[in-house]
């Protein structure tokens, strides 16, 4: 079953490039998808990032009760935790539910209502016209959302540290700059691009190949989100083992 789906997925990706099209006609669709999938997810990403940063600061301070450990260490731990794991992984798991279900249900509805068949009769490469802009939009917008999640997460931790009287802003800022490793940002963005492809590609496959009616669209959307989340977790572990 796995190899059957994997083979069809590769054929879908191949189909996006086998028939040359006028790429200028895709620009408007790409911008539309960037707005729908990226900008439309700003709110949920911002809220989650701020509160994850705040909770990270409070819980880290709760664990580090020894007076020997300087308070700057709290900022270091929050910074590295958010950059390495929370910003790319948790954000993308949330986006797998928000963006993935949207992609799967949209393509599934087009398949069930025979809109895809009508486009193919008109000679349009539906894989390139419907799927490629969604994948490119995710590859463009999701890394930007991850960067935003890093910034807001660290800011949320900084704000919570002062609000809860755990450490001052000046102490938090000193900890942020202490022993900072720029490679961590590179690693986080590598995960962001990998997860962006998973978030867009897997739901597009399930939605594009829906057969049946409204019930099957819902089932395909659910399978797409679950499969995307599991694949993100597996890819997270694989990238950590390879790159760290």
Which pLDDT tens digit goes with each residue over 191-213?
999 999 999 999 999 999 888 88
Is 152 part of any domain? yes
What digits encode the pLDDT tens for the residues 93-144?
999 999 999 999 999 998 888 888 888 888 788 888 888 889 999 999 999 9
Position 185 in a domain = yes
Degrees (nearest 5) of the Cα angle 184, 93, 44?
A: 95
**In this model, does residue 223 exceed pLDDT 80?**
yes
244 DSSP assignment: -
Residue 18 in domain: no
- For residue 134, being part of any structural domain is answered with yes
Distance CA 104, CA 219 (A): 10
The whole-angstrom separation of Cα 70 and Cα 221 is 48
pTM: 0.89
* 155 domain-assigned: yes
Quote the pLDDT of residue 22: 65
Q: Report which of 33, 47, 31 is spatially closest to residue 200, judged by C-alpha positions.
A: 33
| Residue 25 domain-assigned (yes or no) | no
Mean pLDDT value of segment 57-75? 82
Q: What is the pLDDT of residue 92?
A: 92
Instruction: Count the domains in the chain.
Output: 1
Q: What is the mean pLDDT of residues 228-232?
A: 94
Q: What is the pLDDT of residue 136?
A: 92
Spatial separation of the C-alpha atoms in residues 23 and 191, rounded to whole Å: 28
Render pLDDT for 152-172 as a digit per residue (tens, 0 to 9): 999 999 999 888 888 888 888
Taking each helix axis from N to C end, the angle separating 72-81 and 132-163, rounded to the nearest 10 degrees, works out to: 170
Domain assignment present for 23: no
| Owning domain of residue 132 | 32-60+71-243
**Is 27 inside any structural domain?**
no
């Amino acid at each position: 079953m796995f190899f059957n789906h994997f083979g069809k997925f590769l054929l879908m990706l191949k189909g996006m490039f086998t028939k040359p099209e006028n790429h200028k006609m895709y620009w408007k669709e790409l911008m539309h998808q960037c707005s729908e999938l990226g900008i439309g997810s700003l709110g949920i990403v911002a809220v989650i990032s701020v509160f994850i940063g705040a909770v990270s600061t409070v819980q880290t301070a709760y664990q580090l009760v020894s007076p020997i450990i300087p308070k700057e260490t709290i900022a270091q731990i929050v910074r590295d935790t958010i950059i390495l794991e929370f910003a790319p992984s948790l954000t993308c798991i949330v986006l797998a539910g928000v963006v993935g279900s949207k992609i799967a249900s949209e393509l599934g509805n087009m398949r069930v209502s025979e809109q895809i068949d009508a486009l193919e009769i008109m000679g349009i490469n539906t894989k390139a016209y419907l799927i490629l802009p969604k994948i490119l939009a995710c590859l463009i917008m999701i890394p930007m959302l991850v960067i935003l999640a890093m910034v807001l997460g660290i800011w949320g931790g900084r704000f919570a540290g002062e609000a809860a009287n755990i450490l001052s802003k000046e102490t938090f800022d000193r900890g942020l700059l202490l022993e900072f490793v720029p490679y961590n940002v590179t690693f986080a963005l590598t995960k962001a691009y990998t997860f962006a492809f998973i978030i867009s590609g897997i739901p597009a496959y399930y939605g594009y190949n829906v057969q049946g009616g409204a019930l099957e669209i819902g089932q395909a959307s659910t399978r797409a989100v679950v499969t995307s989340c599991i694949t993100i977790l597996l890819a997270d572990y694989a990238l950590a083992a390879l790159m760290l």
